[in-house]
Amino acid sequence: MTAVRLKGQLPGFARLMGMALTITELDRIQGTLEVREELTNGGGQIHGGALMAFADTLGAIGTMVNLGEGAQTTTMESKTNFIAPGPVGMTLTGEATPIHRGRTTMIWQTRITRPDGRLVALVTQTQLVIPAPKA
């Protein structure tokens, strides 16, 4: 696997959430997210929207590192299965891997797990590939 560097830093919302990238490869994107009070629901667990945003960012980065020069991406569809809670203070790991890398779309699946390996959420998303403008 070839390590790939992103241009610049994580998107603003990912930085606001506190995400960190740990692996950036063409076939695997991994990151971590500490569950802080600001990311919780009313029950003291990570909010479903925070889990979805975490996974969406990882899948989008996976698409970005596989795009040709000047191309862009946007999420077309996302499906999340919530499996287990993530309490405040826990650091979750998300790992996105490609299911399909086509010319017009890419599909990524992200597994979000707890430190003990328990699955918290499973997310599958479709990314639109937007070609570079023709000169």
Owning domain of residue 56: 12-130
Coil vs helix vs strand at 83: coil
Strands 105-113 and 20-25, sheet pairing = unpaired
| Among 45, 36, 43, CA closest to 16 | 36
Residue 1, pLDDT above cutoff 80: no
Output the pLDDT for position 126. Answer: 98
In a domain, 3, yes or no: no
pTM: 0.93
Q: What is the pLDDT of residue 5?
A: 47
CATH of the domain at 123: 3.10.129.10
Do the domain assignments include residue 7? no
Q: Which two tokens stand for residue 15?
A: 């930085």
Is 49 among the domain residues? Answer: yes
Confidence of residue 9 (pLDDT cuts 50, 70, 90): confident
By the 8 A CB rule, do 112 and 123 touch? yes
Round to the nearest angstrom and report the end-to-end CA distance of the chain: 32
Beta bridge partners of 18: none
CA gyration radius for the chain? 15
DSSP state of 19: -
In sequence order, which residues have a C-beta less than 8 Å from that of residue 72 and are 6 or more positions away? 130, 132
Mean pLDDT of the chain: 94
Number of domains making up the chain: 1
Q: Give residue 7's pLDDT band: very low, low, confident or very high (50, 70, 90).
A: low
Phi-psi region of 62 (alpha: psi -120 to 50; beta: other; left: phi over 0): alpha
For the stretch 20-53, pLDDT in tens is 999 999 999 999 999 999 999 999 999 999 999 9
28 belongs to a structural domain:
yes
Average pLDDT over residues 52-81: 97
- Map tokens 């899948």 to a residue: 59
Q: Would you say residue 125 lies in a domain?
A: yes
Q: Is 2 domain-assigned?
A: no
* Segment 111-131, tens digit of pLDDT: 999 999 999 999 999 999 999
**What is the arithmetic mean of pLDDT over 1-23?**
79
CA distance 133 to 135: 6
pLDDT value at position 135? 78
Q: Is 5 contained in some domain?
A: no
